[in-house]
Amino acid sequence: MHIPDGLLSAPVSIACAALAFPAVGTAAARARSGTGAREAALLGVTAAFVFAAQMINFPVAGGTSGHLVGGVLAAVLLGPSAAVIVMTAVLALQCLVFGDGGLLALGANVLNMAVVNPLVGYAIYRVMAGSAARGPSSYARRLAGAAFAAWTATVASAATCAGELVLSRVGAPSVVLPAMVGVHAAIGAGEALITAVVLATVMRLRPDIADRARSSLGRDRPGGIAVLGLVAAAALGLFVSPFACAWPDGLERVVERLGVEPSRAILSAPAPLRGYAIPGLHAGVPSTSLAALAGTLLVFACCVAVGVWLAPRRAAGRATGGPDIAPPSRS
Amino acid sequence: MSGVHALQTHADIDSPLRRAPASAKLAATLAFAVALALVPAERWTWMVAAVAAVAVLYRVARLPLGRSLARVGIAQPFVLGVAVLALFQGRGLAVFLAIALKATACVAAVQLLAATTRFDDLLAVLRRARIPEALVSTLALLHRYLFVLVEESSRMRRARRARTWRAGLWETWKALASVIAVSFVRSLARAERVSAAMRARGGGGS
């Protein structure tokens, strides 16, 4: 989903950068209020980890393969503002050193993959994981939440990306939007499964780290996170909602996939999609939207099943280190 | 398997472009991308001229042409995917050509910047541009530890393959996931050591 230069028009690129800049700045300010060297090393080494993890290809049927993107995994394990910084650094390095994603398009790529993706994912993860007590049931809920969050966040990024491409007049909305969202609904399923499997393995090997991530859930100060949520909501509203008039049929589909869950969950910011959704739903034949809703519910059910299935059974009883796969740390 | 070698750049080949200040090169690349984004889709001769101009600069920078072309090619699947989508609309061919030419010129320009500039110099430019310190230090540490972690995870995968006789799809997934999870756990431990070393040398300001 790395947009290269030459695809986006100059106004769209500048609008994306204008949205991405305050979000990254807010996240950086929140991250710096941590503990100096410790925080800097954690962010830098985790960014290197995300980069390395993206190079590991998971085989999919038919000789194709996919890889983890890692935005939701980072948000779940380190918190949303750390995830924004980590993903921004990864994208900037991929752009500046390896030419993956354009320089002018960096704002758009950061907005899609480093702001919208971790924040939408984190919002859904928090809603689904809740504040359940320790133990297998809490692990199952958190795994299901992370899996569904990874899927929805991938689709949300793809929809924002499609909106930017359409506003740059690269293609008609009736072509670009379903293509991007459809392809990434499939890619998102892989991302969801990889995220859940990796998180389950972290829970099994180092329940202390997994629990530290959970306990940091409660410590988020509301101020900065509201700004971040607002930017993510604005991005979705700006780039996805214009299709309300141009293409109500497709908007229904996007709203069914995006609007219903995330806009309610985006940290109580006013949901920009819901206002558009109501006329669209009344005007069109609801068959496609019902199909999309059924698809979303199916993915949701699969995520819950994955969570229950992968949740470590004996994790609550163990304090540290699972000796059955590998010793932790100390390389 | 894509290993560490795929990540090497050519920032050590001496040339006039290599010696030019990093800030000027970054600004020129950005200006080039903006200018190209403003060119309307009908003026494809301008875009051909832009591609030709970048090609001339590659000669000036004395870069190996084959490897450089391969690197430009990495970004092409997404470009082609979107460009093919553009064919399904009115005046699709013009938009298709415009996208392909603009994207190729821009990707080649950014690759040129990367191949002629040390990453440290780019970081210094970002610092002077008042990019938040948290982001710049994350970028610096990311670049420093990237090669260490990529090497480590490919070592773990090699060891896993050597021990595994024949794995089904699900076993492969579980093995790769445990490679990622273990390298995450190791990354956290490494971050602790790095921060202790930084503090011991008086860095980090905590």
- Summarised one tens digit per residue, pLDDT across range A170-222 is 777 777 787 888 888 888 888 898 899 888 888 888 777 777 665 544 445 55
In this prediction, residue B204 has a pLDDT band, given cuts at 50, 70 and 90, of low
Task: With beta carbons under 8 A apart, name residues in chain A contacting B111.
Answer: 99
Q: Which residues of A touch B137 (CB under 8 A)?
A: 40, 43-44
Q: What pLDDT, on a 0 to 100 scale, did the predictor assign at position A327?
A: 45
**Plot region of B202 (φ>0 → left; ψ -120 to 50 → alpha; else → beta):** left
The Cα–Cα gap between A112 and A121 comes to 12
> Can you list the alpha helix ranges (DSSP code H) found in A207-316?
207-215, 222-240, 243-246, 248-254, 264-265, 272-283, 287-310
> In this complex, do A93 and B172 lie within 8 Å of one another by their Cβ atoms?
no
Which residues numbered 54-73 in B keep a CB inside 8 Å of some CB on A? 71-72
- Whether the per-residue pLDDT at A321 is higher than 80: the answer is no
Burial class of residue B25 in the structure, from the number of CB atoms within 10 Å of its CB (0-12 exposed, 13-18 middle, 19+ buried): buried
Instruction: Give the CA radius of gyration of chain B.
Output: 22
Confirm if B135 and A47 have CB atoms less than 8 A apart: no
Give the 3-state secondary structure of residue B192: helix
Q: Report the gap between the CA of A59 and the closest CA in chain B (Å).
A: 7
pLDDT above 90 as % of chain A = 15
* Residue type (1 letter), B95: V
Chosen from A100, A104, A157, A168 to mutate, greatest number of chain B CBs within 10 A = A104
* Residues of chain B contacting residue A89, judged by C-beta atoms under 8 Å apart: 135, 138-139, 142
Q: Do A38 and B148 touch (CB under 8 A)?
A: no
The whole-angstrom separation of Cα A86 and Cα B110 is 22
Which helix (DSSP H) or strand (DSSP E) does residue A50 occupy? helix A37-54
Query: How many cross-chain Cβ pairs, A to B, lie less than 8 Å apart?
Result: 287
Partners of A76 on chain B (C-beta within 8 Å) are: none
pLDDT of residue A290: 65
Summary mean pLDDT of chain A: 73
First to last CA, chain B: 41
Range picked from A70-74, A198-202, B67-71 for highest mean pLDDT: A70-74
- Confidence at residue A69, expressed as pLDDT on a 0 to 100 scale: 85
A150 near B CB under 8 A: no
Q: Do A6 and B74 touch (CB under 8 A)?
A: no
- A118 pLDDT band, cuts 50/70/90, is very high
Say how many C-beta atoms besides its own lie within 10 A of residue A323's C-beta: 9
| Per-residue confidence (pLDDT) for residue B165, from 0 to 100 | 72
Query: Is A312 a residue whose pLDDT tops 60?
Result: yes
Task: Report the pLDDT value the prediction gives residue B129, as an integer from 0 to 100.
Answer: 87
Chain-chain contact of B183 with A52 (C-beta, under 8 angstroms): yes
ipTM, two decimals: 0.82
| CB of A70 closer than 8 Å to CB of A50 | yes
For B90, phi and psi rounded to 5 degrees? -60, 150
